[in-house]
Amino acid sequence: MGVALIWLFYHQLQLGNLKSLQAIDRSNSFYILLGLTLLFMPLNWILEAIKWKYMLSDVLSVSRRGALIQVLKGITVGIMTPGRLGDYGGRLIHLDKSNHKHALAATFTGSMAQNIIQFSIGAVCLYFFVNRLELLHFEMIFMPIILLAGMLCMLIALFFYPSQILKWMARIPWLKNYDWLQEMGVSVNYSTTKLFKLLGLAFFRYLTYTIQYILILNALDVEMHLPQMVEAIGVIYFFQSLLPLPPVLNWLGRGEIAVLVLGQFNISAIYALICTYLLWFINLGIPALIGYVLILSGGYHLKHTEIKTNGHA
């Protein structure tokens, strides 16, 4: 990733964009805004830990500390896999095997909730983005809109009716041998009230990392109004969530998406890259390093005092 970052900055240097770095106002407000961005990082992952703990609460009693530690381990493993799929396995480290299916179900449902919020807000932002900038004619985007709407509907259906859909999928001939589908269908069974509360938590987490992006943009003193920032950030997150690529390619893709979107608001490519990779380092790089230390040390295990079965498992 370091090599990729060097290449990106070298490419921008060739285009003359690094000259704009000299224009950054490194006053007290610059460091205050970056400091605030950093302070929002723990809130971001505490909210994710609360989501995970909340979804496990029907069958397991998990302490907030224990949930946060498992989330950090998940970040470490997930950061090295396409689409951060390793997050699922990472959260199982040092967790009793009998609780794996419940932990996987909670992670799966929490991830869907976050994607629903991200897709929904992103789709609205994308509509205004395309419409206001007149990038494409309606006829050109009609089919992509239908496809995206279909994907969102399928995601919402799987979120609210996971047990029925997963059990149905388990009957498909070429999926019959996947026992985990049947097990997941039994485990992923939450009340509608609980799912709506989960969406609320996911929205607050989305708000958290959106505020972080806005803080970095303001630290760089870019010429954008708040509604434009919210719109651009929504579009960036929307497309970033559609990148199930290997880690390095995903990392490069994040930067290119930010450059293309923010470029429509006359923001230089180097500023777009700084925003993207600085936020990545704060929200994923630092937590992944902490999670790595936790995994290597092996000094903390989820004990019965922190996770215990409530009788529903």
* Lowest mean pLDDT across 22-26, 275-279, 295-299: 22-26
Q: What is the per-residue pLDDT for 188?
A: 63
pLDDT of 306 > 60? The answer is no
DSSP 188-249: ----HHHHHHHHHHHHHHHHHHHHHHHHHHHHTT-S--HHHHHHHHHHHHHHHTT----HHH
Mean pLDDT of the chain: 80
pTM: 0.83
For residues 86 and 91, give the distance between their C-alpha atoms in angstroms, rounded to a whole number.
Answer: 9
Cα–Cα distance measured from residue 246 to residue 83, given in angstroms and rounded to the nearest whole number = 7
Mean pLDDT score, 124-147: 75
Chain-centre distance of CA 148, in angstroms?
18
Percent of the residues in the chain that have a pLDDT greater than 70, as a whole number: 74
What's the CA gap between 83 and 77, in Å, rounded?
Answer: 11
CB atoms within 10 A of CB 287: 23
Segments in the chain forming alpha helices (H): 2-14, 28-56, 64-78, 86-90, 100-133, 138-160, 162-169, 179-187, 192-219, 226-240, 247-263, 269-280, 286-297
